[in-house]
Structure 1
Amino acid sequence: MIPDRFLLTDRVAVVTGAGRGIGAATALALAEAGADVVIAARTRDQLDEVAARVADAGRTAHVVATDLSDPANAAALADAAVTTFGRLDIVVNNVGGTLPRPLLETSAEFLEEAFRFNVAGAHALISAAAPTMLKSGGGSVVNISSVMGRVTGRGFLAYGTAKAALAHYTRLAAADLAPRVRVNAIAVGSVATSALDVVVRDPDLRERMEAATPLRRIGDPEDVAATIVYLTSPAGSYVTGKVLDVDGGLQAPNLELGLPDLT
């Protein structure tokens, strides 16, 4: 049966940035599909709330409150999964992000930090997880990239460049880890998370953003979480090295920052 191919019964997943937004929705979606989860972020209270929802879904969440801007802390999550659940099958690298900044205010250090947070941390966790996945017979990785990794807009130099790097990292890692570990990414568009609160709560800004989106709405975290279930389940078993766009059909930014021409 096709619906059975979307099940993740007794699989074990690590989800970073899982305290809220896409990460929280993903942890719950994976649990509803049958997986136990290691959930990691900075804020324990948020993680505990997600863990309670996972328990309500009949699965177990192991909470790791840690600073994932340090790649070593990200790598340690692989051991946490094995210690707690005895295996690791799925990694979702959701943590990331970089504040907008004009080019002339983007230092080399700021750019390096964007790469460290969005790419190096993902690499550290994947490198630590892959050997364990191979021992379990294989696995699946999903990296959360962004539409800004393929479209252009002022102010997104560091963020867009780092997310573009993560997208191509995904393709290269998929080649290295095939055939037993699949690696894919999602290029996310405008999704109603805390990062977009200022837009979601402003009716005028929200209307402008929705009007500039072909599907005429802002995405929900569950839109991304559902795609992650597909990619990590047997339903996606013939997919690797791909970047799936979950962006409402965007071909350009749907809200400009209004940065002026340089003079």
Structure 2
Amino acid sequence: MKPAELFDLSGKVAIITGGANGIGKGCSKMLAAFGASVVVADLKLEAAEATAEEIRKEGGKALALACNVTKDEELVALVDKTLAEYGQINILVNNVGGGGAGRESPATLTVEQFARTFELNVFSNWRLAQLCAPHMENAGYGSIINMSSMSSINKSPAISAYASSKAAINHMTANLAFDYGPAGIRVNAVGPGAVRTDALASVLTPEIEASMLAHTPLKRLGEAEDIAGAVLYFAAPISRWVSGQTLFVNGGGVQTLD
């Protein structure tokens, strides 16, 4: 394989959930920059369209679609609309997720909130992989990238629902690699450390940042592009014999809120 082909996504179609902002936006723009036709799926259509327009202005191909990943009919519609527009699916980035990191005290967290975190972070990923896999097999190229987190291996207070859901992502990824491998589909996960996003900004203080960096060999917090680079690696042909792995992207260290 020629060097220029190792990261070439020309002719490939990628779905990125939660693709309008933060890490998702970074992934959408990164994959488009390397030639993929990108479907920016997001709960907020206006935000998705803004990101898609940025990509188109930069010479890329992008389609914005509204999608609530906790509603099965919208996941089915996302796949159907992608196929109607582009005719195939090759890459799925299950980026969407959420939880009350640092705010999940078992004294106040309800069973419904705990279940909702798994519905958003785990169940939607599994279902969308199930929906996309047959089309990846038909296309002869498939890469599923799930978004994990350093919280999946860290231990901290008030984060039991989110952290356990991300730990489930790691193990689910490793097992789905066996299920989909015979079809030529690779399944991997990326586990970000602390990344400068709007979500982190809501809790970040100079004191918290200093504490995080004290245990981070590369003395800065992550940027969305840092995570998108790992997603690109898993999406591209260069990782064609890599599956079932979780790659932690964390500046070499640990960043927690406590």
Q: Deviations over 1:53-102 (max 9, x none)?
A: 21123222111123223244234322221111000000000000111311
Unaligned 5+ residue runs, structure 2? Answer: none
Please state whether the residue corresponding to 1:104 is helix, strand or coil. Answer: coil
Q: Which moved more, 1:176-185 or 1:203-212?
A: 203-212
Aligned residue number for residue 69 of structure 2: 68
Helix, strand or coil for the counterpart of 1:208? helix
2:247 pairs with 1:244: yes
Deviations 1:111-165 (A, max 9, x none): 2111100011111111110011111113000000111011100011000000000
Equivalent positions of 1:24-173 (< 5 A) are 24-99=25-100, 100-173=103-176
Q: Distance in 1 between the 2:208 and 2:72 partners?
A: 35
Q: Give the whole-Å Cα distance in 2 for the aligned partners of 1:108 and 1:171.
A: 27
> Residue 196 of structure 1 aligns with which residue?
200
Query: What is the TM-score when the length of structure 2 is the normalising length?
Result: 0.93
* Aligned counterparts of 1:197 and 1:8: Cα–Cα separation in 2: 32
> Match of 1:78, as an amino acid?
V
Q: Does 1:254 align with 2:256?
A: yes
Counterpart among 186, 190, 208 of residue 186 in structure 1:
190
Does the Cα contact within 8 Å between 1:26 and 1:228 map onto a contact in 2? yes
In 1: Cα distance, 2:152 partner to 2:181 partner: 24
Is the CA contact 2:49–2:63 (under 8 Å) kept in the aligned structure 1?
no
- Percent of matched pairs sharing the same residue: 33
TM-score for the superposition, normalised by structure 1 = 0.92
CA pair 71-213 structure 1, distance change in 2 beyond 3 A = farther
Counterpart residue identity of residue 116, structure 2: E
The 8 Å contact of residues 141 and 232 in structure 1, kept in 2 or not, is answered as yes
In structure 1, how many angstroms separate the alpha carbons of the residues matched to 2:213 and 2:73? 39
Q: CA deviation at 1:199?
A: 4.4
Say if 1:142 and 1:150 are closer, same or farther in 2 by CA, change over 3 A: same
Per the alignment, in what secondary structure is the counterpart of residue 131 of structure 1?
A: helix
Q: 1:105 offset after TM fit, Å?
A: 2.0
Secondary structure of 1:22's partner? helix
Q: Which amino acid in 1 is paired with 2:135?
A: T
3-state SS of 2:148 partner: strand
Structure 1: which 5+ residue stretches go unaligned?
Answer: 257-263
Quick one: distance in 2 between partners of 1:244 and 1:38?
Answer: 24
Determine the structure 2 residue equivalent to 1:7: 8
Contact map agreement 1:6 1:33 (CA 8 A) in 2: yes
Q: Which has the larger displacement, 35-44 or 218-227?
A: 35-44
For the residues of structure 1 that align with 2:129 and 2:58, how far apart are their CA atoms? 27
Counterpart CA distance in 1 for 2:162 and 2:49 is 29
Residues paired across the two proteins, number? 254
Structure 1 Cα separation of the partners of residues 135 and 40 of structure 2: 18
Q: Larger deviation: 66-75 or 177-186?
A: 66-75
Look up the equivalent residue of 2:199 and give its one-letter code: A
CA distance in 2, matches of 1:192, 1:113: 25
State the match for 2:180 in structure 1.
177
- Evaluate the alpha carbon distance shift between residue 25 and residue 85 of structure 1 in structure 2; reply closer, same or farther with a 3 A threshold: same
